[in-house]
Amino acid sequence: MAQQEYIKFLRNTEGLTVNAIAKKMGVDWITAKKYADQENWNIEVRPRKKKYPVLEPYIEIIDA
């Protein structure tokens, strides 16, 4: 996580290009661009929808 934050710092504060960051950090330019452009580090987790193929017609009766 520290490396990602440092790449973002180099891009925003120091004003380095993606290629300069990639050479300085020793990473691929695609990785440097991905971390430099990333705004939100939290991954959105969607709740899973439960499927009951056999019980599907009876779910409302069971819940009642």
Contacts of 28 (CB under 8 A, 6+ apart): 22
> Quick one: average pLDDT of 11-24?
92
Supply the pLDDT for residue 19.
Answer: 94
Supply the pLDDT for residue 18.
Answer: 93
Nearest to 7 by CA among 37, 44, 43, 41: 37
Phi/psi for 14 (5° steps) reads -80, -20
Question: What mean pLDDT is reported for the chain?
Answer: 87
pLDDT-derived band at 56, boundaries 50, 70, 90: confident
2-6, 20-24, 25-29, 38-42: which has the minimum mean pLDDT? 38-42
Q: What angle do CA 6, 10, 39 make, to 5 degrees?
A: 70
Give the predicted TM-score (pTM) of the model: 0.59
